[in-house]
Amino acid sequence: MRQGLTRHAYGIKSYKDWKKLEGVNWSKVDKPTVEHQGLKNHIDELYKGGSVGNGSTQDAVRFERATGLDVKGSSHSQKAGDRLRGIEKLMNTEKLSDSDRQAAQRVADDLRDALSSGT
């Protein structure tokens, strides 16, 4: 078993096996619909779809941290971190509608949770 990984990671060979992985707290935040163009850009980049969990970068990070394996040839932790900082910056500087702000907050919280998983 790879050192430092969850005991459930044993036998997982690829991100395509993600459904076999137990004990991971997958994202409960599906892709939100938002109006603000800058926020929409972040959301589109984070929710490409497919792959692992609900198809979000957050779930790619959770998989990578639980198994030590890449998703589609790369690690997604810095992508998640940069996008989190971008969303936080946007929330601090842009005027957002209440629903956009709530969506941004949910996604930011999910990113933080993913980045703290497996640590």
Partner 1 sequence: MIDKYSPAPSTVAFSKKLLGIFPELENTPGFDKSNWDLPYLFITDFRKYVISVFRKVKQEVRTRGHASHEDRLKQVFQIFEDNVNSSDDAVRNLIRAGFLETFDLDVSDQEYDELKAMLGPKTRAALVLACEEDSK
Least Å distance, CB 82 to partner 1, is 4
Runs of H (alpha helix) within the chain: 37-46, 57-67, 77-93, 98-115
Applying CB under 8 A, does 25 fall inside the site for partner 1?
Answer: no
Nearer to partner 1 among residue 88 and residue 106 (C-beta): 88
Nearer to partner 1 among residue 23 and residue 93 (C-beta): 93
With CB under 8 A as the contact rule, which of the stretches 3-11, 24-32, 67-75, 100-108 interacts with partner 1? Answer: 67-75
Q: Break the chain down into helix, strand, coil percent, rounded to 5.
A: 55, 0, 45
Token output for 83: 């996008």
Question: Using an 8 Å Cβ cutoff, are 114 and 27 in contact?
Answer: yes
Q: List contacts with partner 1 (CB under 8 A).
A: 41, 44-45, 48-51, 57, 72-76, 78-86, 88, 115
